[in-house]
Amino acid sequence: MSSWYTKESSIAVSTRVRLARNLSGIPFPSRMSNEQFEELKQRAKSAICDSNTPFAKNLNFIDMASVPENEINAMVERHIISPEFAKRGGRSAIILSKDESISIMIGEEDHIRIQVILDGLKLEEAYDIAEQIDSLLDSRLHFAFDENLGFLTECPTNLGTGLRASLMLHLPACESSGEIASLSDTVNKIGFTVRGMYGEGSKAGASLYQISNQITLGLSEKNALDNLKSITARIIEKEENLRSSLNKLKVEDMAYRALGVLKNCRIITSNEMMNLLSRIKLGIDMGIIEEKINPIELLISNQRFMLMKKFGEMQPEERDIQRASNLREILQQEV
Amino acid sequence: MSSWYTKESSIAVSTRVRLARNLSGIPFPSRMSNEQFEELKQRAKSAICDSNTPFAKNLNFIDMASVPENEINAMVERHIISPEFAKRGGRSAIILSKDESISIMIGEEDHIRIQVILDGLKLEEAYDIAEQIDSLLDSRLHFAFDENLGFLTECPTNLGTGLRASLMLHLPACESSGEIASLSDTVNKIGFTVRGMYGEGSKAGASLYQISNQITLGLSEKNALDNLKSITARIIEKEENLRSSLNKLKVEDMAYRALGVLKNCRIITSNEMMNLLSRIKLGIDMGIIEEKINPIELLISNQRFMLMKKFGEMQPEERDIQRASNLREILQQEV
């Protein structure tokens, strides 16, 4: 039972599907009273946890008010919750599966956000799981739905299917050849968007990019997923073609230098670590270097809040020292 | 019997003393006939090699015409001969001690250049050896000497003592704090000069600088050496003071990162290697990192021609690959 980022991956690192849903008869979270939030929370909790379905025994209800701030932020770093949800504070709750692949956020922008995150390229699989939870919840909570518009959501950009599907891709060759901007333009024109690894406005550390659908109105879930799948296939093909023209020795040199720095440094920022791990991942995925390490796992588990979750509260410089020490320890053991 | 660069050092890496001498009755090398060069060569050779002195059995006569070009250039890299001497071609010879500390160049700018190079700060010791050879040669060859001017030399800048003494210092803290320019200015004003590690016009790779006397006329050898010694002591003190204010953790981080790169890279230029070895040397010399490696030995033995002497003729890129492979092999064994 381990999270998506602990598993091996190649260009497609992870798949995420989320459905935005709201209950009829309760105002959207931004206009909801505390009593209404309590009602929402209890109804959502019992809909899942008392359902006697296979899901129920693997899912835990967590009131976010009881979660320490570092752990909340560490959940964002693990992509279990959205950055927006992390800022909700007391008026939010989550129903989370043990392997962290399913997270049902209660009190995000919408009443309920069902998220499924899996390793690699698993769009159908992730959507299937999300849909099963959606059906289960709908049968008990009765989501606000309009015959013409579809599911009603707080923000009109989610109206309709309420579906946002995204793929996190590792695109170092596209990035180094300057292809990201034109790729982003092309993708935008057909209703998709390219973002950094931590969503809107975030930078693409480690050459990790999220491709997601923008259109939720006027096309079916299946169409949206099919379109995302085909655009992703083309981006992966582009990345593979660009990789095949890279100088293998230079990739090897870059990857081993990166490994040498990670195994030896005494201070390292998250940004530098991400860039170095990206080079190692490229070397491993191209079959050029053989190392029994998982760059994505190292990348996630050495982020700011993940580190503080493990080692306690730290100032930025202490964190950079602790990160270096943690990386050295793991890499000496694993390699 | 090993060369200066194979020995441990600290800020003072090596000491070099050379005496410029010419025989009466033979024109300076630039105006000498081939017959006159042959005469010079034979007289110098027999003066040393037939002398039945302690020197004689440790010294080998080498006609430079018989030395392959890569080895000649590798001698420059080991500081055994001057870059100018390396360009002399057929009309030059050398009398070299087994540990390469004594090299008597025949047919440099002057007829004879006696050079002694030792590890560390050993000005008197190096001068003593040079003086003994000078006396021995003078007693048999009768050097051109003027009562008022002193020893006569081709270039007026050597006239008088014909002595050039230099110290190679490792000055990373002076360099990183931007002190080299003002230090160079000060030193120039009192008749000394600061140069890169391969002499006039060369860059100071690895933060190695040569401090040498400029004045050979109107002051005794002892005065010149004493002055150099006291200016060197002040530069070393300056470097030590600057080092003590460095952040130890940052020095440790830089040194280990450098080691990590050298142990793992697949391609590396001589310049990058020198910079990385300089960081490692700083870490070792400050007692911050403990590694059983000799950065100066690695630096010299992985120079362009030293590599080609060992592995054969190579194009620049092949050399950078071979250098990386050689460094990996040595560092895996030694560390």
- Of B244 and A1, the structure prediction assigns the larger pLDDT to B244
pLDDT value, residue A199? 59
The upper half-sphere exposure of residue A221, i.e. CA atoms within 13 Å in the direction of its Cβ, equals: 19
Lookup: tokens for B196? 């890169």
User: Range with the lowest mean pLDDT among B29-33, B49-53, B147-151, B268-272?
Assistant: B49-53
Q: Which helix (H) or strand (E) holds B168?
A: strand B163-170
How far apart CA A90 and CA A145 sit, in angstroms, is 28
- 3-class DSSP state of B85: helix
If interface means Cβ-Cβ distance under 8 Å, which residues of chain B face chain A?
249-250, 252-253, 256-257, 259-267, 321, 324
Q: Which residues of B touch A261 (CB under 8 A)?
A: 257, 260-261
Buried b (16+ CB within 10 A) or exposed e, A127-156: bebbbbbbebbeeebebbeeeeebbbbbee
**DSSP letter, residue A143:** B
Q: Residue B318: closest CA among chain A residues belongs to which residue? A: A249
So what's the ipTM on this one? Answer: 0.89
Judge residue A237's burial from the number of C-beta atoms within 10 Å of its C-beta, 0-12 exposed, 13-18 middle, 19 or more buried. Answer: exposed
Q: Do A257 and B261 touch (CB under 8 A)?
A: yes
Whole-angstrom Cα Rg for chain B? 21
**DSSP letter, residue B117:** E
pLDDT value, residue B231? 95
**Alpha-carbon distance B268 to nearest alpha carbon in chain A (angstroms):** 9
Q: Which residues of B touch A263 (CB under 8 A)?
A: 260
Instruction: Tell whether the model's pLDDT for residue B199 goes beyond 70.
Output: no
Ordered per-residue pLDDT tens for chain A, 335 residues? 689 999 999 999 999 999 999 999 899 998 999 999 999 999 999 999 888 888 788 999 999 999 999 999 999 999 999 999 999 878 899 999 999 999 999 999 999 999 999 999 999 999 999 999 999 999 999 999 999 999 999 998 899 999 999 999 999 999 999 999 899 999 999 899 998 876 555 566 899 999 999 888 888 999 999 999 999 999 999 999 999 999 999 999 999 999 999 999 999 999 999 999 999 999 999 999 988 899 999 999 999 999 999 999 999 999 999 999 999 999 987 54
How far apart CA B223 and CA B207 sit, in angstroms, is 28
pLDDT value, residue B335? 46
pLDDT in tens, B86-145: 998 788 999 999 999 999 999 999 999 999 999 999 999 999 999 999 999 999 999 999
**Alpha-carbon distance B260 to nearest alpha carbon in chain A (angstroms):** 4
Instruction: Tell whether the model's pLDDT for residue B334 goes beyond 90.
Output: no
Instruction: Tell whether the model's pLDDT for residue B233 goes beyond 70.
Output: yes
Around Cβ A186, how many Cβ atoms within 10 Å?
Answer: 14
pLDDT value, residue B290? 87
Q: Do A265 and B256 touch (CB under 8 A)?
A: yes
Q: What is the mean pLDDT of residues B55-74?
A: 92
Q: Which residues of A touch B324 (CB under 8 A)?
A: 253
Q: How many residues does this entry show for chain A?
A: 335
DSSP string, B32-55: --HHHHHHHHHHHHHHHHTS-STT
Q: Which residues of A touch B289 (CB under 8 A)?
A: none
Around Cβ A46, how many Cβ atoms within 10 Å?
Answer: 13
Lookup: tokens for B165? 């003494």
pLDDT in tens, B256-286: 999 999 999 999 999 999 999 999 999 999 9
Q: Which residues of A touch B263 (CB under 8 A)?
A: 260
